[in-house]
């Protein structure tokens, strides 16, 4: 799970980040990454590489814009419908406005709370978000967990996996986002019958293949996505794709 902090006050941002990291250690939570920034556009760009059930702590007032955090929360909800959003602010009078933005925030934490009460509320949100990691994001998921990472992606979104230049690092290409993580391609290919290693560097989702271009040795997907297929495995890729799709006809 990734935890994102949007806070334009450096001291408050560093304080919240330290607090969260201490709580993660205290509760021995696994596969947690913390990313903090004062720039909304940087946070939103990171979500393109997010998986499921992320946690966001958003300051409402950014750059003297009292409701900037709500606008960011609305964009997050569009990009990440499964994320857990927590709003942190000195503007308690804005709490009712959050409903107008339809961001389904988990909590509204006031900055002027006592230190222990503030920690308690952050801790509560962190544990709730962590407990949600086991909930399915769709009825048909690709769920993956190893010692480096844990995430879920709807199978209908998966196009293919590819190796990267960094050893043991994999990139997942989906219809809506890109996700980088550490694993082995053989681990991926063995997770489900829909996943097939068509090339030493690629594992494809047979269910989402649009066409196999034998002349150019390419597997084509919607949205102009494509990956290589080895000459040796072209025939088997086509046979497996057709067998899978025929099983539903």
- Mean pLDDT, contiguous 10-residue spans, the chain (249 residues): 92 96 93 91 79 83 79 86 86 61 79 93 93 70 80 89 93 89 90 94 96 96 93 95 82
pLDDT for the residue numbered 178: 87
* Residue 223, Cβ density class (10 Å: 0-12 exposed, 13-18 middle, ≥19 buried): exposed
Question: Do 73 and 154 share a domain, yes or no?
Answer: no
* Residue 119, Cβ density class (10 Å: 0-12 exposed, 13-18 middle, ≥19 buried): middle
Domain boundary among 100, 134, 168: 134
Question: Do 117 and 158 share a domain, yes or no?
Answer: no
The CATH number assigned to the domain holding 161 equals 2.40.50.1020
Instruction: Record the tokens describing residue 150, joined without a space.
Output: 């844990």
Domain boundary among 87, 115, 134: 134
- How does DSSP classify residue 19? H
Domain boundary among 95, 114, 134: 134
Question: Do 116 and 149 share a domain, yes or no?
Answer: no
Question: Do 7 and 129 share a domain, yes or no?
Answer: yes
pLDDT for the residue numbered 97: 62
Question: Do 238 and 146 share a domain, yes or no?
Answer: yes
Strand-by-strand arrangement of the 84-89 sheet: 33-37, 2-6, 55-59, 84-89, 107-110
Total number of domains constituting the chain: 2
- Structural domain containing residue 210: 141-246
pLDDT for the residue numbered 102: 65
pLDDT for the residue numbered 49: 55
Question: Do 61 and 81 share a domain, yes or no?
Answer: yes
Cβ atoms of 203 and 144 closer than 8 Å = no
Question: Do 156 and 124 share a domain, yes or no?
Answer: no
pLDDT for the residue numbered 16: 96
């Amino acid at each position: 799970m990734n935890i994102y902090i949007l806070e334009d006050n450096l001291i408050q941002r560093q304080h919240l980040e330290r607090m969260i990291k201490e709580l993660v250690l205290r509760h021995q939570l696994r596969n947690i990454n913390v990313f903090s920034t004062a720039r909304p556009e940087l946070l939103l760009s990171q979500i393109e590489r997010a998986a499921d059930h992320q946690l966001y702590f958003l300051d409402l007032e950014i750059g003297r814009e009292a409701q900037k955090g709500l606008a960011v929360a609305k964009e997050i909800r569009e990009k990440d419908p499964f994320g857990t959003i927590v709003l942190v602010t000195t503007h308690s009078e804005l709490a009712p406005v959050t409903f107008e933005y339809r961001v389904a925030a988990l909590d509204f934490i006031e900055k002027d709370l006592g230190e222990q009460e503030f920690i308690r509320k952050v801790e509560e949100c962190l544990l709730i978000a962590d407990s949600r990691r086991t909930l399915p994001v769709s009825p048909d998921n690709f769920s993956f967990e190893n010692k480096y990472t844990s995430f879920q992606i709807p199978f209908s979104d998966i196009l293919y996996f590819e190796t990267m230049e960094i050893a043991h690092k994999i990139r997942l290409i989906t219809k809506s986002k890109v996700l980088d993580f550490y694993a082995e391609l053989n681990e991926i290919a063995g997770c489900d019958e829909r996943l097939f290693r068509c090339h030493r560097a690629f594992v494809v989702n047979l269910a989402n293949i649009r066409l196999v271009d034998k002349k150019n040795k390419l597997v084509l997907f919607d949205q102009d996505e494509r990956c290589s297929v080895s000459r040796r495995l072209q025939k088997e890729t086509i046979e497996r794709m057709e067998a899978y799709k025929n099983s539903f006809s």
